Structure 1
Amino acid sequence: MAAHLLDLGTWANGMSPHDVHRRPLVSACDGGHRNVVKVLLAHGADTSGAVEVASRHSHLAITKILLKHGADATGALEKAAAGGYRVTVELLLDHGADPNDGPPNSLIYAIELEHVPLFRL
């Protein structure tokens, strides 16, 4: 359905260019809709905030797609760490995310969760 609507001329970034949380790509990331994410990226959707949202829910496949597409991962490590999602944290660190970035930084979340493997990572 998303591909059909985009083919009909619907704007890939939705109705509000200023509200990142209402953009279709962010909504697709939030819901874990990998195929919709792929369609929207193919139609030039703005990736702002998408990696952060996908990481907050540990949608690993979507996070990988977005990173491969070159999306900005600012804030994503913090969200993944806050959820205790070790595999997503590892992916973001391998992608070059700074573990000391963000208020509070990811290490603090690992300590608060008493998540020893995440802390060691």
Structure 2
Amino acid sequence: MTDPTATPTTPAPTHIPRDLDAPATLPFLGPVTSTLITLPLAFIARIFVILGVTSGEDHGGISADVVLTLYQIALLVLLSLLFAAFALPRTERYSPRRILFSALAPIGVVVLSVATLALAG
């Protein structure tokens, strides 16, 4: 039996708000992992794209030099995503963006390489 004069206890909060300006835990884990995946992947993909584009086939009226130049410019844009992931402030507020930029770099290298080989071949 419960005591009618007892004050009810408040339940513990189920959602504890976190401080978005607090330092992030392991802020370099995503960018470093992405760099270790992206740079070798970009190097290998660049070799395959160079071999595929310069194979001597017609590229729809576009020279192989133009295709390779556009590919290398797009690789620089993807590398700027890695730079942005490292340059973001190391707080909890920017953790989702840091993870997004870190994930987009290797995915972008694969998509860019496949698209270049498909369009040039």
- Scaled by the length of structure 2, the TM-score of the pair is 0.19
Question: Highest Rg: 1 or 2?
Answer: 2
Greater relative contact order: 1 or 2 (C-alpha under 8 angstroms, separation 6 or more)? 2
- Scaled by the length of structure 1, the TM-score of the pair is 0.19
Higher helix share: 2
